Structure formats: C-alpha cells, structure tokens
Amino acid sequence: MTIKRITFVQEMLKFMGLEGRLHLEWISSAEAQKFARVVTDFTEKITHLGPSPIAGQTRSISMEPHENKRRKHEYHKAG
Amino acid sequence: MNITKQVEQLLKQGDVDIFLAYRELDGHLIPHGYTLDNLEDLENLKVSQHRYSLEKVATHLTEKKPNLKIGIVARDCNQRALNLLYTWNQLSPENITPLMVNCCPSQTRNHSDCTYLEPKKTGTFKQKKGIDFNENPREFMDNNDNGQRFSRWMYEFSKCIKCYGCRNICPVCFCTDCSLENPDLVEPGALPPEIPIFHLVRATHMAGRCIDCGLCEDACPAEIPLRFLYREMNRIVSDVFDYTPGAGLEKSPFTIIGNEVTLEPRPMDA
Amino acid sequence: MNIELLTLTEVTAISGQEGDITATLVQHPRYVDTDKCIACGLCAEKCPKKVPDEYNEGLGKRKAIYVPYSQAVPLKYTIDPNNCLYLTKERCGLCETVCPSHAINYLDQKKEITLNVGSVVLSTGFKSFDPSGLDHLSFGKHPDIVTSMGFERVLSATGPQGGHLVLPSDKKHKKEPKKIAWLQCVGSRDENRSKNSYCSSVCCMYAVKQSVMAMDHSKAPLDCAIFYMDMRTQGKDFDTYLEKAKDNGVRFVRSRVHTVMPDPHKGNLVMTYVDELGALKTEYFDMVVLSTGLEISADSFALATGMGIELDASNFINTNSFNPVSTSMPGIYACGVFTGPKDIPQSVMEASAAAAAATEGLAVSRNTLTKAVVKPKEREVAEDAPKIGVFVCNCGTNIGGIVDIPAVAAYAAELPGVVYVEENLFTCSQDTQDKMVEVIRNKGLNRIVVAACTPKTHEELFRETLIDAGLNKYLIEMANIRNQDSWVHSDEPEKATTKAKDLVRMAVAKAFRLAPLFETQLPVSPSALVVGGGIAGMTAALSLSRQGYPVTLVEKNQHMGGNGRQLCKTWKNEEIAPFVKGLIADIEADGQIQTLLGATVESVEGFVGNFKTTVTSVDKTQLIDHGVALIATGAVESKPTEYAYGQHKAVMTLLELDALFMEKDTRLEKAMEVVFIQCVGSRDKEHPYCSKVCCTHAIKSAMAFKKKNPDTGVYVLYRDIRTYGQRETLYREARKAGILFFQYDLDSKPVVTPGENRVSVEFTDTILGRRLCVDADILCLSARIDARDNTHLSQAFKVTADSAGWLLEAHQKLRPVDFATDGVFLCGMSHYPKPVDESIAQAKAAAARALTVLSRNSINVGGIVAQIDPERCAGCGGCVEVCSYNAITMDPEREVAVVNDALCKGCGACAATCPSEAPSLMGFNNDQLYAQIKSALAV
C-alpha cells in the first residue's frame, strides 16, 4: 500500500518537474547503518539537485494558533 | 420512445420521484429536476452537447432525503461518476435510474475517450509558456525537461484565482468538508493559492476518484489544463493500482491494504 | 509493579508442597545501587579494565563495570567482582569517583532471601554446545570458524563489528568474506562425539536465516552453503522461507562434513566432505559457522536434580505429552528448552502454558498479594490557557557535552506559552521526578515539554510523573535532543544546538495544543467462549474453569474429542484414547463448563471484555455474553490425490492405518511388506508448508509393524526426516530395528502401480544409484494436513488466516497465541499442524493469555485513539476499509463512520486516508501536527 501510494506521488512529482525529491526505503530499527547510509545518500542527492524551486513560496507563518473556524478537537467520553 | 415520454412514464409509474435532466430556458440549457408536480415542464426537456454534473445534484438530494428515487439522464461520463459514487456510499444503485443517451452527437469520435469536448484552442503565448490543452501528457514528458515542466506548470497554476470552480463542478467531489478550505493548509484570502501545493493536494485527492469527465477544465476561468493533469494521474493510478475509477463497482484500491505487492522501492538514483 | 525482579540471584533450596513452597535464594552483590544508577555509562567509559565480552561470544570486549547488553532489564550497571581492580586489589576506584548519582557501593554484600510461594516455574533455558572438543572442526584454531551464536553477534548491529559482515580474523574490520559455510548438527544428532543424540530443532532454521541475512549484509555477492543431513524447517512458514533462500542462491548440500582445517598457505579454511553421490570433495571457505546445538548447562542440571526433578538421558526435564509443562515434582513447572529443544514461538507458548498450569491450583488466592497505588485527583486544565513548563535534560554529558543546554533553555523561555524552564542533569532520575511534581504543582503548569531522549523509552515514566502531579498524563510532549541530535551531530556542537532549539520549538508548538485525553473503564464479562471441542479446546476450557471462570464450549460435531479420537499413541507411546476420554469426562463433570454440541457460531458483536456471540445448534439459538474467545477449530487430514489412493485397498493414510491398529485388523498381521510415503501433498508448489507431525507419526506406525513382526519389511520414502527434538530417539530406534529409509525429491517421486492384492512401489536409492521396487501389502501415505474452512468464524471474530488457511497470530515469535484482535486467542491445529503435546501447551497458553483479560475487573479504552467528526464525514467508508483492526463502522442512521475506542489501536491510518480530515488521532491531531510542521519551518 505504502509503496503504491509513494510510487504515485513520485510519478506525480515527476510530471510536475520535481523529480527525485521523494524516496522510499524500508529500514528497521535494527538497521542503524542502513538508516545513516540512506539519509546521507539522500541528503547528498538533494544537495546536488539544489534547493526546491518551490521553496520561498511558503508564506511566513505565525507561531500563534490562529482562531480556527473549525471545531476544536475535543474528546468525547467513550461509552 | 423518445426521452420525454420515458421520463413521463417513469414519473407517472412512481419509478422515480424526480428526474434530473436539462431544460431549455431562453435558448440556454440548464439543469432541471422534473417531478409529477411540474410535468408540463417536460416539453422543454432537451438533450444536447451541454453537460452538467447532474450526479452531483443527485448526491446533494440524497444527502437530504436518503430514500429519494432519482432518475437521471446519463452519458458515459455520468455513468462512470454514478459507479464511483455507488462505491463510495454516496448514492445507492437501487435509488438511481439512469437513462442513457448518446455520448457523442456527431457520431464521429471515439466513445471511450469520453468526450465530445471540442479540441480546445490554445493561444500562442500559452503554448510557449504554459501547456497546450491538446498535447498528449506523454509527449509533454518527452518534450520538456524537469525544469521546463516545472516552469510550465507554475505558469499555469499561477493564474489560479482560487474560485473552487473545479471542485464545485466535480461530480465526484462529495466531501462535506474540503481540505482546500482548511485554513491550516490553505491560507484564506491569499492569491494565487500556495502553488503548486494547492493543485497537487487536489490532484492527490482525485487519485482513484477522477472519472475523467473534463468538467473541471471546462469550468476553469483561468484555463488551467486540469483534465490534462488528472488524466496523467489516472494513467499512474491505472499503472500502479491497476484501477480505473468508475469503470465498474470495484472499491478504490486507495483504501485497501493489499496482500502482496510486486513493486519494488525505486533506487535512489532513478 | 507486581513483578519483583531479583537479578544476580540463585535458588539454593526448595521445600514444602504445591500451594505452600518455601524457596531460599541467594542474591549476589551488584555493587551498584539500582535505585540510584541512571545508566549514564560514565563508569564504564572510565573503567580501565577490559574483559572478553560473554554476550558477544568473546568476539569483543566489555569493561569490569558493565551492562551485559543494551536491552538488559533492569538497565543498570553491575560490577564483575572477578575483574574489578578495586574489588580484587583495592586499586582504582574510578567508577565511584565519576558516578554522578553516587550509585557505587563496593561494600555491597550477598543476601539470603526466603520466599513463600505457591508454585515454581523453571525456565533457565539452554547453553549452546561448546565445539572446542571436536578437533575435526578446528574451532578455536582459526578466528573465522565461529559458532552460530558468535555469527549472530557478527550480524548484529550491537555486535562487536557493528553489524558489518567482516572476517573476525581481520583486526581492521575491513575484509569481507566471499564464501561462508554452515555446518549443521554440531553437537546434535551425534552420539559418538557429543553424546547429544537428540535433534536441537532450531538450528536448520537459524542457519537458513543467517545465510539469508548474511547475503543481505554483504555488499558483494556472497556464496552461502549449508551442509546438512535433513532440513528440519517444520515450523509455520519455515518451508516457504527455505524455498526463498534456495531461490536467493543459498546452496544446500546434504552431507555431514568430516574435516575443516585452516589452510596455512591460503590463510582461509579448507573443508572436505562426501557429497550425496559418494564423491569426495574439497572446497575452500572464508568463514565457517558451526550450527551448534542446544544443551542443558551444569547449573540447570544441579538446580533440577537438587529439587528432585526427573530428567531424561540428555538432562532435559522429563515431561509427558499430556502435561507438557509439569515436572515430576508437583508445584514445580517448567518451560522453554529445559523441557526439550525448541524454538522461540514454542518457548513463548510454553511460558504462558506454565503460567496457566502454575496458577490453576492457586486460583482461590488470586490478587491477595497484589499491590496497587493510589493516584492524586486530576486537575481540570482543558479550558485553561497553556502554561508550559520546559525541562531540558543534560543526560550527564550525553546531551550537555555537545548541545549548549543553557542556550536552549534560554531560547525555550522566550517561546509562546512557556512560563517555566529548568535544566536538569538527568530529568529521568528519581529526585528530579520528585522535584518536577513539586514544580508542576507550585507553578500551576498545565502542559509539559521534556527535551531529553526518546519517548519510546521514557514517555511512560514522565506520564507517571504527570499523574503524580495531578495532571492528565497526555499533556506531555518530548523533544528528542539526544538520539536525534547530540548523538548524531557530536562533531558539530553549534549546529546541534540550533537543531535542539528547533526540536524544542516544535515540541512547544505541539504542547500548546495538547488537550487532556480520557480513558473510560468498561466492565469485563468474566467468562470465556471456546470454539472447538478437540484436545486443544477441551484443555483450554478446563484450564479456564480451574482458574475460576465459566466457559461455554462450542463443538460443531455431536461429540467432543476432535482428531484425538482417531489417534492411537503419542511418540512416547502414551495411549491417546484414554486421555481424551478422561478430558471429556472432566468437561462433563465440570459445573462451570457449558457444552454446546452440534453448535456453530453464527455472529459476534462487541469487543474485548464484552463479546456477545450468537450460537446456533439444531434446535435453538442462544446469545452468549463473554469476555474472551478462544478458537481451537483444529485441522483435517487431506485425502491424497496420487499414489493410487482410493483405487486400491492397500493404500491408506496415517489416520486410516491408526484405525486399523485400533480395530486390531488382521491385515496388519499378514502384511509382509509395508511402505510409507512421506510429504504426500505437502511441501510442493500448491501446498508449500510441512505438516510437521507426519514423520514422527509414520515412524511410530512403522515401528508398530516391526514390533509385531521383526521380519516385516518396512520402508519409509521421505524427503527430509523431521523427527525434531527428542523425537530423534524414535528415528534412531527405527533404524536400529531395521526399517529402511530412502530419500526422494520432488522431481523423483515414487511411482505406484496397483496390482491384484498388492501395490508395487518403485523408487530410486540415491546411494546405490539404482531403481528399486517393493510389492507392498500396505502403502501408507503421510497425507498433508489441511486447515479447516474458518471463513465464517474469521469474519465473525475479525481475525485473519494466511493463504493456506491457518489462522494468523498477532506475532509469530512473540505473540503466538494472540490474534491481532484483542480478547481473541487461538490454539491447536487451527494455527498450524502440531503434535498433541504442542497443542496442549498452546491451549494452556491461550488460557493464560485469556486470563490477562478475565482477571481484570475492567478494561481501559480511549486515550490515543481516532475520533471522527460526524460533521465532516461524507460517509464514503474509506476509513472503514483501511482500518486493520476493524475498529470503524458506519452508523446507518447518520451515515457517518464511527470509531470503537475498544478496538482502535491509534495507528492513524484513517486520518491519513480521509480527504476531509474527518478522523483525527487524539494526541496527534492535524492541528497539532500542522503546528509542529509550521513551527519547524518558521525560522
């Protein structure tokens, strides 16, 4: 399931011209070395690709939680 | 038997409580619900090239009156939308009676690619900076590199006036609460919306749902090639999930945790 | 709270009777106060004395003050008195100087402890066979010859080489092996050299696993070869794994290797062996792994004999098939390898089984000695504006040595909502916890951020602290500035400090939005439903009844007993029929067990603690309230489709042969030639699994012929003889008795031609290299065991089955009798084919696991669960489909999805699926997560 969804997003980003910026890898908690290697490799790859062309589009966001028109998440008592 | 007679019969026999079709008013066709109370309107019932997502009207009606029996004039694309809405519990087939009409009045084009949509005109500036409506998505991939694709899309998206027309016309957009209006995700009052995120969020939500009716592209006042975008999304869904939304009553694979997957994660250098 | 852990402790004496046993224990000194030790590791860092590390099989070094391994419980340091310089020579004393919490106590003394207990469980495990004495394998003469335990350490990320597959002989940890050999049955199935005549059961599977993992770990292509006699992968899914290993290129050579020697010229290892066709071969390897067997240590032997417990010839505890976890001493139970070699799932099952057996007699005193704690009343803070307290931990020098903690603390003080910031040496230490409780109360804090280590290990601790301070325990957020920061960026302190600030800012942003979450208590129906009245179902029902809980036993047939009714004897020659009769009599005499014969489960509603099941039988339908359900629907011997089965009366299955034995049929007397064919319909493409019991069953039946008439010609045609564990004894006796064994493969199956009175069986003898033919009076087929069709039952109880139809446990190794669905358990052959003793152990285990629910008055539901906003829900049902726990249903009235708190596991799949964000995972809702993401980007 994960792999299908990620493949979908990878293809979509490729279509958008943002290829290569999403990577999927299964790493168990016992595979510290693999984790380090994958993160290093991916960091290197992204550095090589350069900053995301959409970076900077993100608007500055206030730290304060804004008054939300939407309902606050509150817990109903179970049962 | 012509369609007017069929509708009249359906209403009179009580097979449907309301029949959704088009009505001619001042030379224009508008969507209209025919009932026993306004049988006289039937004389204005017309079928033409014009389309509207009547299924969407059916969904809204069902929401208010779950047991309402609805008849609907349907082309292929409407039928696909109906199928999709059945699988997503929005309509139930027992309550819907579609009357199929010819998809393609000119009889010259291929049904399977739905649509009698006329080839669209794409101006030279749009061709140069943006995306030609009539280009094949695969050729678009071949003819443009990563950077070109990105700038063409950004040109298109930057025209967005966030009118939500694409969503409002969409027959399969049935959510009661749309993420695209969530202030946490989409800042209210900012134009254009955060691009390309805004459009990609919608594209992702359409994956496994879009039945390729093309109404969004027709509705867009900014001429963003939305059908062009979703058609490619559909191709990916078909490749990856082996699923064509609306083709049948199969559940969307997006919500099913499959047993076995033959896909392999892509290598990083791919 | 109710488990007291006594480490470094030995039992010196046991006296008394079941229900009133006095155990005398000796606790050896640790020299470290466990209440004070915070496992910071400074002591071991400074300790000058290096000792070979037992845990790493001597392949690495540890210090004289150490924790045996990183997951040790308790995670507290201990001083090895034989190697500590202070304790041996009164020099050094460095650990005492550097310990920040003054935990070192060189004056610690050994203590004698006396306990009064009701029963005792022995689970001292095994010792790996020491191959040093086997000169032909050269162990100890070359560092690249390792035992399987040693190789486990080589592959392990916490091992001496950090999980890099490199040759132990290469001191630079660079040179990787290109060829590795595994030698099976080292110290097993070997009377001549090791005295261990039994099969160790687990080595074939672990060797296959190691070879696959080694290939995974190796960057270059790796040649792996396993030298074996019979491939004994009889466990659930093991054969599938074996076939995958073959596909991946692991070589399997049927041969017992007679010599391994270091090659002085080439520097690697040279091995000579005779292959299956009788040719002498020489092959070179870079590394050789000895698949060493399991045996009982001298300490365990002394412990058991000291208690007067009977052992078998190999020093395993003598048990009988019907009481697999009972020893010869009443009140003393045993589990794991002490009662015979076995793998993890079987050991875990037995552990639960022993817990059931050891408490059946003590049921009346349940909860008389348990402790409970009174917690302060919770303060209402939901409506209050956030007053966030931030506690920044130095973790000794772990964080403080890299990250500028004062700078992080000062930064945190400026963040919105933060009213209090504190730096701690160790936020997790007991004194800081006490202080934290005070601060929360005095400053009126209502949201807490701890910037320290990982929530995985410490969040529970801090939640307890919040409870003690009268705060809802979900009002805490942790920022992991150790594992994700100071540890990985130790060479970039400035950047690490910036990152620590980022992590704290994100945690504060989330804490700002934390809301108290509540758990509700639902009462538990204190009764059980058992589906299936075979040996497993009856055993489980009786066990639960003895524990004091009423049971409804549902059996599809008009009589109980299941497959047990058709079985003759166990491999230990115990008669099964009287045992089954006894079980049925016990069930019928038991006032707490209601038996419904000819009945099936129609539908199930509810969840753990509160099931409502509709059971229908011929004449009536009834609704049963129960807290737990046990599924024990068994399995069935398949009808073969080959070898002239059904076409000739000489051809029969094992159970049909058992029936002839029980009827004392005259054909058995007259039979002069008897052939058994193994793996009929098993271990092939369509049915890749092993039916586990047939090798033993067939050999036992074959022996019955030999015992009747030693002149009867008995032939067993097999693929691998899988008489695992002590069953190997039976195989050895069979060969001694003159039963002939012929190995065949899938591509050279025997050919059966029906004759007038006999059938002729043609097969190849691989050693002679010739075709042989036997005219058999009886041809017995070891037919595959099939799963029953449990489709309806699985849907009703929301449990799953694998592709072969075996019911799927929650975790194959660690939760072998639980389903992923809470409150439903499985046992017996519905899980996988298994012999009587294993079925009984699993049945008792399921009863014990069911007790963990039944013995509670109520269950807590809620907390971190999903909740669906009905106003946003469009009723599309996407979340219903995606929920692995079947916790979401559609409310037919409102046409919206609803989460059942008791079933929800808080995985968040629904929240991720819904395009409208109608479901939110409490404690991880979108507001909180978006706030964290925005805060991460807002620099």
- Look up the ipTM and state it: 0.83
pLDDT at B248: 84
Instruction: Tell me the per-residue pLDDT of C814-868, one tens digit each, with 9 for 90 and over.
Output: 899 999 888 999 999 999 999 999 999 999 999 999 999 999 889 888 889 999 9
- C352 within a domain of the structure (yes/no): no
> Could you tell me if C777 and C793 lie in one domain?
no
C904 and C919 in contact (C-beta within 8 Å)?
Answer: no
HEC readout, C643-667: CCCCCCCCEEEHHHHHHHHHHCCHH
C751 lies in the same domain as C803: no
Contacts of A14 in chain B (CB under 8 A): 141
In 3-state terms, what secondary structure has residue C303? Answer: helix
Could C916 and B175 be called an inter-chain contact, meaning their C-beta atoms sit closer than 8 Å?
yes
Q: Please tell me the distance from the alpha carbon of residue C354 to that of residue C347, in angstroms, as a whole number.
A: 10
Pairwise CA distance, residues C633 & C88, whole Å? 61
For chain B, the residues whose C-beta falls within 8 A of a C-beta of chain C are 66, 88-90, 174-179, 182, 184-185, 205, 251-252, 254-257
Q: How many domains does chain A have?
A: 1
C515 touches chain B (CB under 8 A): no
For residues C350-379, average pLDDT = 91
pLDDT band at B258 (very low <50, low <70, confident <90, very high): low
Flag whether C907 is in a domain.
Answer: yes
Instruction: Decide if C625 contacts C527 (C-beta within 8 A).
Output: yes
Q: Quick one: C654 and C698 in the same domain?
A: yes
The residue among C694, C608, C621 whose CA lies nearest residue C654 is C694
Domain extent for C897: 865-921
* Count of other CB atoms within 10 angstroms of residue A13: 18
Phi, psi of C741 (to 5 degrees): -115, 130
My answer on whether C200 and C94 are in the same domain is no
pLDDT over 70 (residue C586) = yes
For residue C284, which phi and psi values (nearest 5 degrees)? -100, 140
Helix A2-15 to helix B197-206 angle (10° resolution) is 130
Q: Do C515 and A74 touch (CB under 8 A)?
A: yes
pLDDT in tens, C542-576: 999 999 999 999 999 999 999 999 999 999 999 99
Structural contact between residues C448 and C387, judged by C-beta atoms closer than 8 angstroms: no
C874 close to B (CB below 8 A): yes
What is the reported pLDDT for A79? 32
C273 backbone φψ class: left, alpha, beta (φ>0; ψ -120 to 50): beta
Q: Minimal Cα distance from A72: which residue of C?
A: C927
Nearest to C876 among B89, B182, B257 (CB): B89
Q: What is the mean pLDDT of residues C656-676?
A: 94
Task: Tell me the shortest Cα–Cα distance from A36 to chain B, in angstroms.
Answer: 14
CA distance C847 to C825: 8
**Whether C565 and C678 share a structural domain:** no
- From the list B178, B184, B257, which residue is nearest C930 (CB)? B184
Partners of residue C901 in chain A, C-beta under 8 Å: 78-79
Answer whether C602's CB lies under 8 Å from C615's CB: yes
Any A CB within 8 A of C509 CB: yes
- Check CB contact of C910 with chain B, cutoff 8 Å: no
pLDDT tens-place string over residues C394-413: 987 889 989 999 999 999 99
Measured between CA atoms, the residue of chain A closest to residue C924 is: A73
A60 assigned to some structural domain: no
Is A65 in contact with C522 (Cβ distance < 8 A)? no
- Chain B residues touching residue C916 (CB < 8 angstroms): 175-179
pLDDT confidence band for C219 (50 / 70 / 90): confident
Question: Is pLDDT of B202 > 90?
Answer: yes
pLDDT of the residue at A64? 46
Tell me the residue range of the domain where A39 lies.
23-49
Rounded distance between C-alpha atoms, residue B187 and residue C906, angstroms: 29
pLDDT of residue C499: 96
**In the predicted model, is pLDDT for residue B149 greater than 50?**
yes
Answer yes or no: are the C-beta atoms of C916 and B178 closer than 8 Å: yes
Pairing of strands C600-607, C593-596: unpaired
C368 to each of B152, C261, C362, C363, C855, how far by Cα in Å? 75, 62, 11, 10, 13
Interface contact flag, A61 C937, Cβ < 8 Å:
yes
CB C899 within 8 A of CB C867: yes
For the segment C658-673, the average pLDDT, to the nearest whole number, is 93
Could you tell me the CATH number of the domain that includes residue C37? 3.30.70
Find the CB nearest B153 among A17, A26, A68. Answer: A17
Cis peptide before B196 (omega within 30 of 0): yes
Question: Is C741 a residue whose pLDDT tops 70?
Answer: yes
Calculate mean pLDDT across residues C305-324: 95
Residue B47: pLDDT over 80 = no
Q: What is the mean pLDDT of chain C?
A: 93
How many CA atoms are closer than 13 Å to the CA of B200, on its beta-carbon side? 20
> Which residue did the predictor score with more confidence, C798 or C722?
C722
Q: How far is A32 from chain B (nearest CA, A)?
A: 18
Specify the higher pLDDT residue, C326 or B186. C326
Domain count, chain C: 6
pLDDT of residue B106: 47
Checking if the pLDDT of A69 tops 70, the result is no
Residue C341 maps to a domain: no
Neighbouring subunits of B (3+ Cβ pairs under 8 A) = A, C
Q: Which residues of chain B does A53 touch, with a Cβ-Cβ cutoff of 8 Å?
A: 150, 154
Name the residue of chain B whose CA is nearest to C932's CA: B184
* A71 domain-assigned: no
Q: What percent of chain B has pLDDT over 70?
A: 89
- Inside any domain, residue A30: yes
Q: Is residue A6 included in any domain, yes or no?
A: no
Give the pairing of strands B18-25 and B70-74. parallel
- Contacting residues of A for C517, CB less than 8 Å apart: 75
Q: What are phi and psi of C238, to 5 degrees?
A: -70, -40
What is the predicted pLDDT for the residue at C436?
93
Q: C157 to chain A nearest CA, in Å?
A: 6
Angstroms from B188 CA to nearest CA on chain C:
16
Contact A57 B137 (CB under 8 A): no
Please report, in angstroms and rounded to a whole number, the separation of the first and last CA atoms in chain B. 59
For residue A73, give the nearest of C512, C522, C927 by CB distance: C927
Task: Kindly tell me if the per-residue pLDDT of B206 is higher than 60.
Answer: yes
Is the pLDDT reported for residue C893 higher than 90?
A: no
B261 in contact with chain A, both atoms CB, cutoff 8 A: yes
> Which residues in B lie closer than 8 A to residue A57 (C-beta atoms)?
194-195, 197
Chain B residues lying within 8 Å of A50, measured CB to CB: none
Q: Is B92 within 8 Å of chain A by CB?
A: no
Q: Cβ of A77 and C516 within 8 Å?
A: no
- Can you read off the two tokens belonging to residue C173? 């940890």
Separation between Cα atoms, residue C119 and residue C121, nearest integer Å = 7
Query: What is the mean pLDDT of the segment spanning C312-324?
Result: 96
Q: Residues of A numbered 43-62 whose beta carbons fall under 8 angstroms of chain B's beta carbons: which are they?
A: 45, 53-54, 57-59
Q: Percent of chain C having pLDDT more than 90?
A: 78
Contact C416 A73 (CB under 8 A): no
Task: Spell out the residues 6+ positions from residue C658 whose beta carbon is closer than 8 angstroms to its own.
Answer: C566, C567, C568, C701
Mean pLDDT of A26-41: 83
Integer Cα distance of C525 and C512 in angstroms: 40
One domain, residues C680 and C775:
yes
Among C918, C895, C879, CA closest to B89: C895
pLDDT level of residue A78 (50, 70, 90 thresholds): very low
State whether A61 and C938 contact (CB < 8 Å).
yes
- State mean pLDDT over C599-623: 92
- Distance from C-alpha of A21 to C-alpha of C412, rounded to nearest angstrom: 32
C8-43 pLDDT tens trace:
999 999 999 999 999 999 999 999 999 888 888 889
Residues 6 or more apart whose Cβ sits within 8 Å of residue C134: C186, C187, C193, C194
Say which range, C156-165, C173-182, C421-430, C817-826, has the weakest mean pLDDT.
Answer: C156-165
Q: How far is A46 from chain C (nearest CA, A)?
A: 18
Q: Sheet containing C9-17: which strands, arranged edge to edge?
A: C9-17, C20-27, C111-117
Interface membership of C385 toward A (CB under 8 Å): no
Cβ-count burial of B1 within 10 angstroms (0-12 exposed, 13-18 middle, 19+ buried)? Answer: exposed
CB contact under 8 A, A38 and B190: no
pLDDT at A74: 42
Q: Do C515 and A64 touch (CB under 8 A)?
A: no
Q: Do C779 and C678 meet the contact criterion of CB atoms below 8 Å apart?
A: no
- Which CATH number is C765's domain given? 3.50.50.60
**One domain for residues C909 and C895:** yes
* CA dihedral (C797, C799, C800, C801) positive or negative: negative
The last residue of one of the domains, among C295, C314, C344, is C295
Tell me if A38 is assigned to some domain: yes
Same domain, C807 and C707: no
Strand pairing category for C65-66 and C78-79: antiparallel
Residue among B197, B240, B261 whose CB faces A8 most closely: B240
Residue among C893, C917, C929 with most chain B CBs within 10 A, to mutate? C917
C15 within a domain of the structure (yes/no): no
Q: What is the least distance, in Å, from the CA of A6 to any CA of chain C?
A: 13
Contacts of C334 (CB under 8 A, 6+ apart): C121, C122, C123, C309, C317, C319, C325, C326, C327, C354
pLDDT in tens, B92-134: 999 999 988 876 544 454 444 444 456 677 888 888 888 888 8
CB atoms within 10 A of CB B240: 20
pLDDT at B192: 83
Q: How far apart are the C-alpha atoms of C430 and A14, rounded to whole Å?
A: 53
Of B261 and B239, the structure prediction assigns the larger pLDDT to: B239
Neighbouring C-beta atoms of residue B269, cutoff 10 Å: 7
Answer whether residue C542 is part of any domain. Answer: no
Instruction: Please write the tens of the pLDDT for every residue from C268-284.
Output: 999 999 988 888 999 99
Q: How far is C798 from chain B (nearest CA, A)?
A: 15
Q: Return the DSSP state at C562.
A: G
